[in-house]
Chain A
Amino acid sequence: MAEEKTEKRMLSVTANPHVRDSITTQKIMLYVIIALLPATFFGIWNFGVYSLVIVIATVASAVLSEYLYEKLLHLPITISDCSAAVTGLLLALNMPPTAPIWMCILGSAFAIIVVKMLFGGLGQNFMNPALGARCFLLISFAGRMTNFATDTYTGPTPLAMIKNGETINTFTMVLGRESGTIGETSVIAIVIGACFLILMGVIDLKIPGSYIVSFALFYILFGGHGANPYYLTAHLAGGGLMLGAFFMATDYVTSPITTKGKIIFGVILGILTGVFRIFASGAEGVSYAIIIGNLLVPLIERYAPLKCFGYRKPEKEVKA
């Protein structure tokens, strides 16, 4: 100890962050990719080989668009941080299993170039690129994006069936043997991936938890079926709720930082999803709910700002 004191040390003064850690963007993105694999493989097994083609095409074109954009504009190439691959994979999981390849490429290019790179690249995008692209495709090609009829499944998605008053099997919904987009059907596969991310410390339960709980409460209050477990399970397991709550609402760039902000964000998403599913004409509303929530994040962060290190609440004046 005495030696250390006498030793002359050069202290460098830099701006924050000062924490040195082995966690890098690349590592986090790789964890997310690993966590998405169960849902991806389940989707491929569920819908057939063509889904694999969609996944490969979407991921490859997302990475390629980022590379080409940065090459053309003489920017540092950032494809090695894997964020483009994550965006591509999330978009692929949001595609119907019948999507034509050109549509996947168009969606990936839109996600990366318009939603992400034009706003300054990773960390600057104001909404989740994969969801931005999904909504872009949904508005542009409504018919193709909602065509879920494959060889195995010919009917509409379970949520659409409930909306039409038909009966569904909630057990197969939880398993995922049903029609829908490639990655959204199996609750089990998604939850396995989500548990991995939570264990690795990449995401926490604040946003998904408040999102799912507030959606369930909203559904019980306004869904018209009360706390009927049949409808409640169907709505929680159906559509993109689980995939959206665990993998897209938790996107670091487009969600609030503080605990208070995260919970407000989750509740807003839950209410919006409920409003879209119950009162809107379509059966699903998770993607619109999340991108609208993304737009509200700056406002939420003004209400729930990060406290400065060492900040103390000013003590109340005690009356003598």
Chain B
Amino acid sequence: MKEGSAAERLYNGLIKENPTLVIVLGMCPTLAVTTSAMNGIGMGLSTTVVLALSNLFISLLRNIIPDKIRIPAFIVIIATFVTMVDMLMEGFTPALYTQLGIYIPLIVVNCIILGRAEAYAYSNGPASSFFDGVGMGLGFTCAITLIGFIRELIGSGAVFGMPLGNLSDFTPTIFVMAPGAFFVLATIIAVRAKIIDNIEKKKGERLPVKHTDEDGIDCATCSARATCSGHMGTEQQ
């Protein structure tokens, strides 16, 4: 896939650099609103809209925004879109809006949005920035919907709001409370890491790991290289 193409950006956001499961950003909404799968979808999609549009506009304005005040400028752009999403949701999806409550206005301070603005949109063209936002947003949506789905199923015995018989009499409520969010998130991250690890092993290709010591000094340029045995293992591979 060509670097910066729409497909590459979408793949990057959904799988390779999934904002929730790999970069572990945006933990506040991830942990707080994922008590049900519907909440996850609502939160994820509204964040996706803000992310795609703010990435697009920051990328368009990147040559005008002075470097020193770029963060305030990003926040203004992001806040504009969040306010629009906030009002639209209040008008058209009032039930979901009440469910998500304070977390809709708080999209402004979602690290994923500011992170992508700083890391990608500020130094890349508008088209690929837009798709980067869409990919990251969908990656976030998928991840928190999955967390919401599992928590809802285990914690309140329901799938997308529909109760499964009287299963809810036997489900541990802790999964729809705060600790459950941590259990489920941690398990999903671990399982994903394991799967990716296995795939990489099968392909026989590993990402080249730069070997550094505890202080972050690169072994290749270390002055004690001749006498140190720490770098031997990695070179033989």
List the interface of chain A (C-beta within 8 A of B): 102, 106, 114, 136-137, 139-142
Contacts and interface: CB of A to CB of B under 8 A. Distances in A.
Nearest to A137: B172
A114 B173 contact: no
A136 B177 CA distance: 11
Contacts of B92: none
18 contacts: A102-B170, A106-B172, A114-B183, A136-B172, A136-B174, A137-B172, A139-B173, A139-B174, A139-B177, A139-B179, A140-B171, A140-B172, A140-B173, A140-B174, A140-B175, A141-B172, A141-B173, A142-B173
Interface residues of B, number: 9
Contacts of B183: 114
Dominant SS among interface residues on chain A:
helix
A33 B172 CA distance: 29
A219 to B, nearest CB: 30
Interface string B165-197: 000001111110101000100000000000000
A139 B179 CA distance: 10
Interface in B130-148: none
Contacts of B179: 139
Best-surrounded residue of A102, A137, A140, A142 (most CB of chain B within 10 A): A140
A102 B170 CA distance: 9
Best-surrounded residue of A114, A137, A141 (most CB of chain B within 10 A): A141
Contacts of A140: 171-175
Contacts of B171: 140
Best-surrounded residue of B173, B174, B177, B179 (most CB of chain A within 10 A): B174
Interface string B18-45: 0000000000000000000000000000
B175 to A, nearest CB: 8
Given A114-B183, A139-B173, 14 more contacts: A102-B170, A106-B172, A136-B172, A136-B174, A137-B172, A139-B174, A139-B177, A139-B179, A140-B171, A140-B173, A140-B174, A140-B175, A141-B172, A142-B173
A106 B177 CA distance: 18
B173 to A, nearest CB: 5
A140 B171 CA distance: 8
A73 to B, nearest CB: 11
Contacts of A142: 173
Contacts of A102: 170
A90 B175 CA distance: 24
A74 to B, nearest CB: 14
Contacts of A137: 172
Contacts of A136: 172, 174
Nearest to A100: B170
A220 B183 CA distance: 40
Contacts of A114: 183
Contacts of B173: 139-142
A142 B183 CA distance: 20
Nearest to B183: A114
A308 to B, nearest CB: 24
A140 B180 CA distance: 10
Contacts of B172: 106, 136-137, 140-141
Contacts of B174: 136, 139-140
